[in-house]
Amino acid sequence: MKQPHAHITFLFVTLGIVAILLLLTDMATGDTFIPISKVWAVLTGGECDEMTRNILLSIRFVRVVVAGLIGIALSVSGLQMQTIFQNPLADPYLLGVSSGAGLGVALFILGAPLLGWTAFPLLQSIGIIGSGWIGTAVILLGVAVISRKVKNILGVLIMGVMTGYVAGAIIQILQYMSSAEQLKVFTLWSMGSLGHITMTQLAIMAPIVCIGLVVSIACIKPLNLLLLGENYARTMGMNIKRSRTLIFISTALLTGTVTAFCGPVGFIGLAVPHITRLLFNNADHRVLVPGTILTGLIGMLLCDIIAKKFLLPVNCITALLGVPVILWVIAKNLRIIK
């Protein structure tokens, strides 16, 4: 029994070291490369010129923290969704989270010019985030209410997907009615961006994501019981409705917040849980949840470094790195590979 524990401990330590190295590399990467020694000096309170210190702490540090929060939030949400729906291709956006946030943002972008809010950039920025969060909350509240009425989890899945399709159709109508300028704002949001988040917005985003993580950690035992299906979990005395609601609340806080602030960032939540399972060769969520947190952090930091290097939207990079993992999962489930 000692060997598996030693192996898991070694993996956690290794992933922790890789995460720190990537965090330093991400802060060093940008328009101009700053030596990692200077980054380390700034973070540890060492000596460094004022200009470099300002660039690292005021601009790059915020972006790196945002990237880390996105990776952690989406990965943990994806793990929860794959477990509760017993579906390896389930992701954080499965319940219509992305469509709900998109609908909220689309309604705001179309409505802001009519209300004269475009003259106030700060109000517009807050409005986009707020409307995205409200859109997410409304969709997930609807799904949570349905889940309390529906006994079969498949019914919840179908309702969530259908709700997402309806929201997507309304978004397309709103896009068709929008002006070129409004369309550009919405398109930029939908591409997923890490660079526009301010320290004030981060101060709002980080605590909400942390609360979502605390809720997801509280759901570890129910998630382990759900691995063998809802009927088994019910016979073990688990309150299915309460556990489902808690998991959906966690998903709303994690995915909803990230999507509202940064736009929908695809494939991370779908691919990272599978990478974590492959690394740890373990189905226990007491191992998978912290493992997914570290792997999601590493994955998103890596994507951010590549995105900055090639001046591309981060969504393009997450898709390019995530698709091979998804193809592997499909091939494995179809028994194409062992």
Query: What does the pLDDT look like over 258-311, one tens digit per residue?
Result: 888 888 888 899 999 999 998 998 889 999 999 999 999 999 999 999 999 888
Q: How many CB atoms lie within 10 A of CB 140?
A: 24
pLDDT, residue 241, reads 82
Tokens 């602030």 found at? 261
Per the CB < 8 A criterion, the answer to whether 137 and 255 are in contact is no
Of 206 and 142, the one with more pLDDT: 206
pLDDT, residue 125, reads 65
Q: Is the pLDDT at 140 greater than 90, yes or no?
A: no
For residue 75, give the 3-state DSSP assignment: helix
pLDDT, residue 44, reads 83
Q: How confident is the model at residue 1 (pLDDT cuts 50, 70, 90)?
A: very low
Per the CB < 8 A criterion, the answer to whether 318 and 194 are in contact is no
Token pair for residue 155?
């019914």
pTM: 0.89
Token pair for residue 244?
């489902």
d(CA 69, CA 75): 10
Q: For residues 22-51, give the mean pLDDT.
A: 86
Q: Is the pLDDT at 3 greater than 50, yes or no?
A: no
